[in-house]
Amino acid sequence: MYQSMNLSVSSNFAHRSLLESRFPIFSTGFRKSVNLKPPRVSSGPESGDSGHETLTEKLILLLRAVPDWADEIKERGMQQKRSLYTHEKWVEHRSSLRHVRHLLSSFSSRVILSLIPPVFFFTSVAVVIASYNSAVALDWLPGIFPILRSSSLPYQLTAPALALLLVFRTEASYSRYEEGRKAWVGIIAGTNDLARQVICSVDSSGDELIIKDLLLRYIAAFPVALKCHVIYGSDIARDLRNLIEADDLSLILQAKHRPRCVIEFISQSIQLLKLDDAKRDLLESKMLHLHEGIGVCEQLMGIPIPLSYTRLTSRFLVFWHLTLPIILWDECHWIVVPATFISAASLFCIEEVGVLIEEPFPMLALDELCDLVHSNIQEAAKSEKVIRNRIIAKIKLREFKHSSNGRHRS
C-alpha cells in the first residue's frame, strides 16, 4: 500500500539541548578523552610547570577512564530497542531457572557494569581505612595516630531514613514510567481509532481514494514522529521514509516540532475530504488523544523528579558508605571490606534503577508499537473491501432466499 522511498537526511531533535544538558556524553557521541587545558609551549623555568600540568591531566584522564567506560556501556544499552513480550517470552520470564539465567548474565548487565566506579571506590576506601587501623593497632605508626572507630548507634537510627529515601526515589521513578506507558497506550489506541474511522467514513473512489491513502500514511507516521521526538538518537528520516513521500518528509524534517507538523498534515487532509460536518467533527475529535499524548510525553521529558531529591539521595548514599568502615571496625575489622562492597553494590543498584526508569521512553518498546500500528492500518485497509463485499453478498443472498412477503421460498 505504501510506497518505499530512499532518503537519508540527518535529523535535529527539538529536545537535543535538554538531553545534552542531562547527559553530557551525548554532546559528541560517547565521551572521549580531552585535554582540560590547551597545550602550552614554553622554555626556561616554566617548562617544569608544563610537565606538571601534563602529568595532572594524564592522572585525571586515568581516573576518568573507568567511569567513562561504564557510562558508555550504560548509554549504549539505553539506545537498544526493546521488544514486546510474547507468550514464549512470558514462559521464559516466569521460568524456575530465571535466577540462574539472571546470575549468569550479571556481567553483561548495564546496571551492574555502571556500578563498577562507585562500588570500586567505596571498597577501596574501606581497604585504606582497614589498613590504617591495622597499622595503628600493630604500633606500626606513631602513637599520635588514633584508630578510626565510632559507635554504630547513629547508623542504626539513620538506616530507616535511608531505606525510605531509596523507596520513595524508586517509587517516584516508577510512577513516571507508568505514566509514560499509559500515555503511549492512549496514543496507540487513538491512532488506531482514527485510522478505523477514516477507513469506514471515506469513500474509496476518485480523489477521495488518494486523500484517504495519504491520510492513512500520516496517521501511521504520527507515533513514529513522536517516538523520535522523545528518544535521543532516533533517525526520523530513516523511520519515515517508507511511510511518507519525499516532499512531505522534507517539510516534516524542517519543522521545529515534527509530531505537530504531522498532525497538521492529518488535519488538512481531513478538511479536504468530502464529508458532512458531523463526520468531519468526529474525525477532528479523535485527534485530541494525539495532542494529549504529546503534552504528557513532553512533560515527562522536560520535568524530571525534583533535583534536590535526587541530590539528597546521592549525597546520603556517599556519606553513608564513606563512614561505614569506621562504624563497623570494632565489630568486623577486616570484614568491613566485603561488608562495604555488599552494601554499596546493593544500595547503589537500587538508586541506579530509579535513575534509569525516571526517563521512561527508552524503557518502552516504542519501535515495535509503531510497527504494530503500521501493520494494523495496512491490514485494515486491505480487508475493508473484502469484508464489505462479503457482507453485501450475504444480504443479497438472504433477500434472494426470502420472498417479498417474508415467507421462505420452496
> pLDDT for 344-370, tens place per residue?
999 999 999 999 999 999 999 999 999
**Which structural domain range is residue 213 located in?**
109-139+147-389
Q: What is the pTM of this model?
A: 0.76
Kindly state the cell numbers that stand for 269.
487532509
Distance CA 241, CA 7 (A): 6
pLDDT of residue 355: 92
Q: Are 169 and 352 in contact (CB under 8 A)?
A: no
170: closest CA among 354, 311, 307, 303? 354
Kindly state the cell numbers that stand for 111.
546496571
- Flag whether 118 is in a domain: yes
- Flag whether 153 is in a domain: yes
- Flag whether 334 is in a domain: yes
- Flag whether 299 is in a domain: yes
Q: Are 222 and 199 in contact (CB under 8 A)?
A: no
Distance CA 111, CA 349 (A): 7
Alpha helices in 105-241 (DSSP H): 110-114, 116-137, 153-201, 206-230, 236-240
Side chain identity, residue 360: P
- Flag whether 12 is in a domain: no
Kindly state the cell numbers that stand for 145.
595516630
Contact partners, residue 364, CB within 8 Å, separation at least 6: 82, 180, 181, 184
Side chain identity, residue 203: D
- Flag whether 207 is in a domain: yes
Distance CA 170, CA 26 (A): 25
Q: Cα–Cα–Cα angle for 263, 6, 11, nearest 5°?
A: 55
DSSP reduced 3-state for 29: strand
Distance CA 101, CA 306 (A): 36
Locus of grid cell 479523535: 286
Side chain identity, residue 369: L
Total domains, the chain: 1
Is the pLDDT at 322 greater than 90? The verdict is yes
pLDDT tens for each residue of 90-140: 999 999 999 999 988 888 888 888 888 899 999 999 999 999 999 998 988
- Flag whether 402 is in a domain: no
Distance CA 168, CA 139 (A): 46
pLDDT tens for each residue of 44-59: 444 445 566 788 887 7
Kindly state the cell numbers that stand for 282.
468526529
225: closest CA among 11, 16, 76, 26? 11
What is the separation, in whole angstroms, between the first and last Cα of the chain?
46
pLDDT of residue 227: 94
pLDDT tens for each residue of 259-309: 999 999 999 999 998 888 888 888 988 888 899 999 999 999 999 999 999
pLDDT of residue 403: 53
- Flag whether 395 is in a domain: no
Is the pLDDT at 189 greater than 80? The verdict is yes
**260-to-162, 165, 232, 248 alpha-carbon distances in Å:** 43, 39, 18, 14
Q: Which helix (H) or strand (E) holds 51?
A: helix 46-78
For the chain, give the mean pLDDT: 82
> Average of pLDDT values for 23-41?
37
Is the pLDDT at 185 greater than 90? The verdict is yes
